[in-house]
Amino acid sequence: MKIGIVGLGLIGGSLAIDLRSQGHKIYGVSRQLKTCQIALEKGIADYASPEFKILAETEIVFICTPIATIASTIKQLIPYINPKTIITDVGSVKQPIVAECSQLWSNFIGGHPMAGTTQSGIDAAVANLFTGAAYVFTPTDQSKPENIAKLTAIASELSAIPYVCDAQIHDRAVSWISHLPVMVSASLIKACLTEEPDTFKLAQILASSGFRDTSRVGGGNAELGVMIAKYNQQELLRSLLQYRQNLDEIIALIQQEDWQSLEQTLQITSAARPKFLN
Amino acid sequence: MKIGIVGLGLIGGSLAIDLRSQGHKIYGVSRQLKTCQIALEKGIADYASPEFKILAETEIVFICTPIATIASTIKQLIPYINPKTIITDVGSVKQPIVAECSQLWSNFIGGHPMAGTTQSGIDAAVANLFTGAAYVFTPTDQSKPENIAKLTAIASELSAIPYVCDAQIHDRAVSWISHLPVMVSASLIKACLTEEPDTFKLAQILASSGFRDTSRVGGGNAELGVMIAKYNQQELLRSLLQYRQNLDEIIALIQQEDWQSLEQTLQITSAARPKFLN
């Protein structure tokens, strides 16, 4: 199959590597000429150019740009491609993207491969990045079943596990397990910074694995954190407000010295956590 | 030196192993006769018995029982030991223990070796558990300098790093980096459990390293979580209320769509986190 990939960073580049190794012809597009050269030199893509016209004969195009530029990229791409071409994206939020891009292109289906590393750019692209990872697709009622089938087949070729669901369910689910934890964790670090110097210094010295783990995602990339909040605002606020209510309940149990109910709560969380770990 | 260890679990047993390997004579006390037998068989202690009288000639006694029984253990121990014997404990909270035990024994100095594993009991005891770990001592104004010096020397023999500070500073510091994270993390798991089945199921499937790390300490031992809350109630509430304020600030920024301030906040937390990782 002729497959186009727009945006040759970590995700786009890694998709290109695995799909090319499956025998597909890869047409890569990057604004940066240097990135195109690297893609060709490293054998990541068969063809690479800053020009959308090289995508004219592709059957599927993956838009692997940052969330903020997905729709504008599709607008630029449209004049060059066949009306039957499937366009999909790899953004970590789906509702706003699907709403906008489905209007632009009837064969658009949103996608989210749940894989990544802390690196970025084409030099971070690796083989087998998606092995065992969930790959969610969020079609609408208007999406053609054969398009969905083509995309889930591609996910399976990547050794990823395809899931098909509504964009809102995706955004709610990722808010709970990915976006809410960022804000919960960032609030923890921020709260510690209010402590007076002597105690703060000791806290830094004594911090070990518990703090390291709980603070990890709150100490990550700030720009990405803002993207999450901006594009998944409603679902994130919904989960944040629910979280605050559960936090308030725990605070109340400690204030009331209701140790029995606190123990029950912690037994529930202790029993529930393994169900999230595959 | 003749050293007594009351409570031969993970911490007591591991202390015994390392101190014995430094050439000290180890006198172990456990209520369980079987634990005493294991301690002798494995060479963890030189002498082991359920009877406090074997501690008659010890210079230092480590109380390694659960927090709730430290003071009552000291009361039982007092009739058998020399008035000059230093008593120390290994509890993870210091203010209430120091307040009560200093009244019982003038040569009591609170201690907290910040090491552990997820295991417990004498079979979990290992050599070098304290290597590189912080070992905090919390003397009072009445504590004798030579007693403090003896304990910090013991910590150094364990290859731990001794810190001497006020019990309140200790309890505040551990609340920030150890006790608050438990409640923050437990609230996250509890909040997720409120979601309706379809979304909850997808959330469980999609959860990966971010959720795994942020939820780890909230999915731990419930009994230990209650102990923390019970014995460090005031400092934990202080940090919880500060945390809630910081959480509310982040919620407000997202509600107000103040992305610039949110990015500044996340830049601050991103820059601050490495200072907690040694």
The size of chain A, in residues, is: 278
When divided into structural domains, chain A yields a total of 2
Q: What is the CATH number of the domain that holds B247?
A: 1.10.3660.10
Same domain, B77 and B19: yes
If one counts every other C-beta atom within 10 angstroms of the C-beta of residue B255, the result is 12
B1 near A CB under 8 A = no
d(CA A27, CA A56): 10
| B-chain residues near A198 (CB < 8 A) | 165, 169
Query: Residue B228's domain spans which residues?
Result: 169-276
A164 near B CB under 8 A = no
Same domain, B85 and B121: yes
- In terms of Cβ atoms closer than 10 Å to its own Cβ (0-12, 13-18, 19+), residue A237 is middle
d(CA B77, CA B53): 8
d(CA A103, CA B193): 35
Same domain, B196 and B120: no
* Rounded (5°) CA angle A162-A168-A169: 55
Same domain, A107 and A228: no
B242 closest CB neighbour out of A191, A200, A220: A191
Per-residue buried b or exposed e for B150-183, using 16+ beta carbons within 10 Å of the residue's own CB: bbbebbebbebbbbbbbbebbbbbbbbbbbbbbb
Instruction: Note whether B188 contacts A188, CB cutoff 8 Å.
Output: no
A214 near B CB under 8 A = yes
Provide φ and ψ at A197, rounded to 5°. Answer: -50, -45
| B-chain residues near A136 (CB < 8 A) | 202, 206
Same domain, A160 and A187: no
B219 closest CB neighbour out of A204, A208, A269: A269
**CA distance, residue A109 to nearest chain B CA (Å):** 19
Which amino acid type is present at position A186? A
Q: Cα A148 to chain center, whole Å? A: 19
Least confident of A136-140, A175-179, A221-225, B84-88: A221-225
Which residue carries 């121990």 as its tokens?
B77
Residue A230, CB-side half-sphere exposure with 13 Å CA sphere: 17
Q: What is the pLDDT of residue B116?
A: 81
Which of B135, B165, B195 delimits the end of a domain? Answer: B165
The tens digit of pLDDT for each residue in A56-67 reads 999 999 999 999
Contact B187, A185 (CB under 8 A): no
The tens digit of pLDDT for each residue in A82-107 reads 999 999 999 999 999 999 999 999 99
Query: Please, which residues have CB within 8 angstroms of residue A78's CB and are 6 or more apart in sequence?
Result: A104, A105
d(CA A156, CA A142): 23
* Strands A108-113 and A134-138, sheet pairing: antiparallel
Instruction: Note whether A259 contacts B226, CB cutoff 8 Å.
Output: yes
Q: For the residues A190-197, what does the mean pLDDT come to?
A: 97
| A-chain residues near B93 (CB < 8 A) | none
| B-chain residues near A204 (CB < 8 A) | 177, 275-276
d(CA A92, CA A15): 16
Q: Please, which pLDDT band fits residue A139 given cuts at 50, 70 and 90?
A: very high
Helical spans, DSSP H, in A118-166: 145-157
d(CA B84, CA B106): 9
Q: What is the CATH number of the domain that holds A82?
A: 3.40.50.720
Same domain, B159 and B107: yes
Residues within 8 A of B (CB atoms), A 134-163 only: 134, 136, 163
User: Which residues in chain B come in under a pLDDT of 70?
Assistant: none
Contact A102, A142 (CB under 8 A): yes
Instruction: Note whether A181 contacts B215, CB cutoff 8 Å.
Output: yes
A265 near B CB under 8 A = yes
| B-chain residues near A230 (CB < 8 A) | 257, 259
- Secondary structure of residue B135 in the 3-state scheme: strand
A181 closest CB neighbour out of B183, B190, B211: B211
B241 near A CB under 8 A = yes
Provide φ and ψ at B239, rounded to 5°. Answer: -75, -35
A177 near B CB under 8 A = yes
Same domain, B79 and B186: no
Which of B139, B165, B191 delimits the end of a domain? Answer: B165
d(CA B238, CA B233): 9
Instruction: Note whether B262 contacts A217, CB cutoff 8 Å.
Output: no
- In terms of Cβ atoms closer than 10 Å to its own Cβ (0-12, 13-18, 19+), residue A103 is exposed
Q: What is the pLDDT of residue A119?
A: 82
Contact A80, A21 (CB under 8 A): no
Sheet holding A60-63, edge to edge: A47-49, A25-29, A2-6, A60-63, A86-89, A108-113, A134-138, A161-164
CB pairs under 8 A between A and B: 320
Contact B127, B15 (CB under 8 A): no
B68 near A CB under 8 A = no
Comparing CA positions, the residue from A11, A6, A13, A15 lying closest to residue A157 is A15
Residues within 8 A of B (CB atoms), A 77-136 only: 114, 133-134, 136
Instruction: Note whether A276 contacts B215, CB cutoff 8 Å.
Output: yes
Which amino acid type is present at position A109? I
Same domain, A21 and A157: yes
Same domain, B8 and B28: yes
Which of A165, A197, A216 delimits the end of a domain? Answer: A165
Contact B44, B125 (CB under 8 A): yes
Number of H helices and number of E strands within chain B?
12, 8
d(CA A109, CA A62): 10
Comparing CA positions, the residue from B258, B247, B185, B207 lying closest to residue A226 is B258
d(CA B173, CA A157): 50
d(CA A245, CA A267): 18
Same domain, B115 and B142: yes
SS (H, E, C) A64-124: CCCHHHHHHHHHHHHHHCCCCCEEEECCCCCHHHHHHHHHHCCCEEEEEECCCCCCCCHHH
B206 near A CB under 8 A = yes
- Helices B167-174 and B95-104, packing angle to 10 deg: 150
Same domain, B210 and B134: no
Instruction: Note whether A205 contacts B278, CB cutoff 8 Å.
Output: yes
Comparing CA positions, the residue from B51, B64, B58 lying closest to residue B25 is B58
| B-chain residues near A227 (CB < 8 A) | none
Same domain, A134 and A183: no
Tokens of B252: 């407000």
